[in-house]
Amino acid sequence: MAANWRVATAALRRHLLSPPPIIFAAFRESTGALSAANQRRSYTTALADDDPRGKWLTLPPFSPTIDAAAVGKELSFDDGDSVVKGSNDGSTTALRWILRCRPDLPRNLVQKLFRLRQVRRQVVVVVPMSCELQRSQLKRVAAKESLNVGDRIYLPLSVGNDAPQPAKKERFLCSEEERKFVCSLVLYKDPAIIVLNKPHGMAVQGGTGVKTSIDELAATCLTFDKSESPRLVHRLDRDCSGLLVLGRTQTAATLLHSIFREKTSGASAYGVKKNIKSLKRKYLALVIGCPRRQRGQISAPLRKLVVDDGKSDRITVNDNGELVSTQHAITEYRVVESSPHGYTWLELRPLTGRKHQLRVHCAEVLGTPILGDYKYGWQAHKTREPFVSPENTRTKTSSPFGLDMEGGDVSSKQPHLHLHSKQIDLPNICQLLEKLEVSSDSDISDLDSLKFDAPLPTHMQLSFNLLKSRVETCDYC
């Protein structure tokens, strides 16, 4: 009897001391977030052939990531602390990690897997009677269960077949000439951002009636050495020209979007919060007429009106006190130069980022619509006489995308919109992300600022020359 007991004990010990199943990973482990191009890749882990658990879809091991939205919020306002906390609390739930690693999986499908108890978590257990020997096991995990750094989640292999296939988006094809034109718009590039000088007439994002957009062209021509396509973080009107910032990674784009958003939410009817590494934007506009005051601040709420039986809309100032949905908007302005011909160059600083904010504030509050703005200044353009000058010399230019790069200045019967995003000051996002990779609590007191200045488009430069403006002496050449 004792001999049988010893044989059984020895067999049990051999089983417990046997090496763990060999895992063949079909992906290279990464501690960072997955890129958009690799998020749909099947992470299949094959266990040993004699393992009853079979095969599983394996997610990357959990690791704390930069909370870009929180960083942007902390960075925007001066609370007396120069330290930014860049990472989360070091833990997340199993449900959130799955949705982050596999955004292609519907949330309801993932929740169903948890309800059916089909989600596993790899844990390490210590072999009894041997504190040094460890074995890996897969155990069921709940949706709200917190993960530790290095934990790995396993999903049923059938999930890859159940996930809906995304609609294949046709990639915009560019000729070599078009590609060179798009690349010529780049004013600045680093590992985190790209800054463009957007031309007049090119839409930022696709939509009804839009053949070509910056969003599509960036994905085709401006990826450079990145696997991800650049992402929009703010907007410019189609007819507005000038500086446009794009994020080159998901983290950079989220951080930039947060900075632009916090700039708007930080401004209110009661004042503007003081910023340490503030986002600063300046526009240059040529308006019809001249404001009564040389400088000032416009604080006027805006609301949307639906016109043409719902076919279109326009923004207007809500000055009648009606209880309607409004958005507060603040703009600082300064007269740069007035022309005896009835035109004025204005410097505009939007402290909020509302749709058509500058155009509506100029037309309805200052009473000086922007030249070329037929939506909000049609009455002024109806009575306007084109400016004529014997020095009117034009340079013929063309665009491979059919953009009207010729004419449109103050002497034209139908001038282009004279609104240009001239200057932007931003925190050095690339430097900040490098700091946060080294330490989650980073000192930003020495964080550099990036200053960008976009040359005037052709039609505004022609108007500049025709009106003999002295804008050049005011740093707007």
Domain identity same for 400 and 468 = yes
Q: Does residue 124 belong to any structural domain of this protein?
A: yes
Domain identity same for 111 and 221 = no
Domain identity same for 444 and 373 = no
Residues 296, 330: contact at Cβ < 8 Å?
no
Q: Does residue 142 belong to any structural domain of this protein?
A: yes
Residues 6+ apart with CB under 8 A from 229: 36, 218, 219, 222, 223
Q: Does residue 205 belong to any structural domain of this protein?
A: yes
* Residues assigned a catalytic role: 237
CATH code, domain carrying 213: 3.30.70
Domain identity same for 132 and 155 = yes
Cα radius of gyration rounded to whole Å, the chain = 29
Q: Which amino acid belongs to residue 444?
A: I
Domain identity same for 418 and 463 = yes
Domain identity same for 121 and 207 = no
Where among 168, 197, 219 does a domain terminate?
A: 168
Q: What does the pLDDT look like over 104-159, one tens digit per residue? A: 888 889 999 999 999 999 876 655 665 555 667 788 999 999 888 888 899 998 88
Q: What does the pLDDT look like over 169-178, one tens digit per residue? A: 556 678 889 8
Domain identity same for 273 and 369 = no
Q: What does the pLDDT look like over 20-62, one tens digit per residue? A: 443 333 333 333 444 443 444 433 344 433 343 457 888 888 8
Residue 203 lies in domain: 176-277+428-448
Where among 168, 184, 210 does a domain terminate?
A: 168
Q: Does residue 130 belong to any structural domain of this protein?
A: yes
pLDDT at 6: 58
Domain identity same for 437 and 342 = no
pLDDT at 182: 93
Q: Does residue 349 belong to any structural domain of this protein?
A: yes
Q: Which residues pair with 85 in a beta bridge?
A: 441
Of 164, 165, 145, 161, nearest to 153 by C-alpha is 145
Domain identity same for 130 and 229 = no
pLDDT at 390: 53
Q: Per the structure, how many domains does the chain have?
A: 3
Q: Does residue 69 belong to any structural domain of this protein?
A: no
Where among 135, 168, 201 does a domain terminate?
A: 168
Q: Which amino acid belongs to residue 255?
A: L
pLDDT at 297: 95
Q: Does residue 336 belong to any structural domain of this protein?
A: yes
Domain identity same for 121 and 109 = yes
pLDDT at 33: 40
Domain identity same for 194 and 255 = yes
Q: Does residue 268 belong to any structural domain of this protein?
A: yes
Q: Mean pLDDT per 10-residue run, the chain (477 residues)? A: 54 49 37 41 39 69 75 66 55 85 86 92 67 71 88 86 59 83 95 96 83 89 89 94 94 89 67 61 96 94 83 83 76 93 94 93 96 93 75 59 84 93 94 79 77 95 80 47
Domain identity same for 418 and 433 = no
